[in-house]
Amino acid sequence: MSFPHHRPRRLRTTPALRRLTAEHRLSPAELVLPAFIREGLSSPHPISSMPGVVQHSAESLKRAAAEAVELGVGGIMLFGVPKHRDATGSAAVDPDGVLNRAIVDVRSEVGDDLVIMSDVCLDEFTDHGHCGVLSEDGTVDNDATLAVYAEMAVAQANAGAHVLGPSGMMDGQVAVIRQALEEAGHQETAVLAYAAKYASAFYGPFREAVDSQLQGDRRTYQMDAANRREALLEVELDLEEGADMVMVKPAMSYLDILADVAAHSPVPVGAYQISGEYAMIEAAAANGWIDRRRAIEESVLGIKRAGANIILTYWAAELAGWLKE
């Protein structure tokens, strides 16, 4: 094939031509804002490793959700930081627990104008910081954890979440959650499965965001960064178990995985631009080493180009504001 007269630069000559011929463009509706709510706060508390992101009080979370609606953001993903933790994460299943109350609050603030998502995972709630309950030998007990996830999922659906996001990477978690939701009459509550979630160093700042108690790592349940094929197995299992959407996480170091999943998935595909990805860009921008806005836009566009239909990013609100300009 030869195109002797083809000069790709022709379509790059003016901003209007570039805009017209852009293969991908971002829109606020596909963005999801992850948000932290900490029990007992009367005003928002900054997270030092994530400049611009806070642990919300009940009031400030409601304001952030209302602002997200104003900006046309697609959804919000809620994480709770409880006052008291124990071995089984009992605050996670308590209807009065910090996360479940936050779901009620946000739902009453925004109704159905914003998709309310919540994290189904125990790491914020356990005193050992693992995503599940432990067996006697200290390893994470998969099946004992599933029983708690089922209860947690029903509590979140009762509180008014539209979408549940199981992020603990226990085998069989989607099936157990789906079944529990059906039995509780929550046929319409959807599951966004963290299907391919990798054990990543880039979760570092999140651990500060949720005051994580974790010693050690999550390599016995989260995926190994070396593995690509295995991501498709995880996705297939989650689909078989009833996942309505699947997610890849982290995003930026896993764009090949995202492209694979996007090519195979019959359901919407999410990607989570995580805390460390946020922190790296913020830190470099604060040093004057990169252009902050361009770096943010380029990084999120890269995630979209790789195939994400839904993008979780801590910049969701700010980016949505820029997109409306």
Nearer to ligand PBG, 1 or 226 (CB): 226
Query: If DSSP codes are grouped into helix, strand and coil, which group holds residue 115?
Result: strand
Judged by CB under 6 A, which stretch of 86-94, 95-103, 115-123, 237-245 contacts ligand PBG? Answer: 115-123
Nearer to ligand PBG, 214 or 295 (CB): 214
Q: Binding string to ligand PBG for residues 163 to 202, with x set by CB under 6 A, is what?
A: ----x-----------------------------------
Please identify which residue in 30, 39, 105, 123 interacts with ligand PBG, judged by CB under 6 A. Answer: 123
Helix (H) or strand (E) holding 256: helix 255-264
Distance CA 262, CA 68 (A): 26
Beta pairing class for 45-46 and 54-56: antiparallel
Residue 125 interacting with ligand PBG (CB under 6 A): no
Number of C-alpha atoms within 13 angstroms, CB side, residue 121? Answer: 28
Assess contact for 168 and 221: CB atoms under 8 A: yes
List the Cα angle 246/249/255 in 5-degree steps: 95
For the chain, the farthest-separated pair of C-alpha atoms sits apart, in whole angstroms, at 71
Residue 119 interacting with ligand PBG (CB under 6 A): yes
Residue 37 interacting with ligand PBG (CB under 6 A): no
Nearer to ligand PBG, 94 or 264 (CB): 94
Nearer to ligand PBG, 214 or 264 (CB): 214
User: Which residues partner with 75 through β-bridges?
Assistant: 32, 115
Assess contact for 312 and 32: CB atoms under 8 A: yes
Helix (H) and strand (E) counts for the chain?
11, 10
Question: 236 exposed, middle or buried (CB, 10 Å; 0-12, 13-18, 19+)?
Answer: middle
Nearer to ligand PBG, 121 or 181 (CB): 121
Judged by CB under 6 A, which stretch of 13-21, 86-94, 118-126, 173-181 contacts ligand PBG? Answer: 118-126
Residue 78 interacting with ligand PBG (CB under 6 A): no
Residue 234 interacting with ligand PBG (CB under 6 A): no
Please identify which residue in 125, 206, 254, 315 interacts with ligand PBG, judged by CB under 6 A. Answer: 206
Please list the active-site residues.
197, 249
Using CB under 6 A as the criterion, which residues of the chain lie in contact with ligand PBG when the complex forms?
Answer: 119, 121, 123, 131, 167, 203, 206, 218, 274-275
